[in-house]
Amino acid sequence: MKQATFASLAFQQKKKQTRRERFLTEMEAVVPWAALLAAIEPHYPKA
């Protein structure tokens, strides 16, 4: 296991959020995932 340095820990705290991360965070809040999965589950092929 690689040991973390003080600089790397400080950098992780101040990391700027990317557009992708902002988009995914917003989608998690907006999309009703349980209802969506329940709607498509009957049509999804069983393994």
Instruction: Look up residue 35 and give its two tokens.
Output: 């209802």
In the chain, alpha helices (H):
6-13, 19-30, 33-40
For position 1, what pLDDT does the model report? 57
pLDDT digits over 4-21, tens only?
777 777 767 777 889 999
Exposure of 11 in the CB half-sphere (CA atoms within 13 A):
5
For position 40, what pLDDT does the model report? 93
- C-alpha distances in Å from residue 11, one per residue of 1, 3, 5: 19, 15, 10
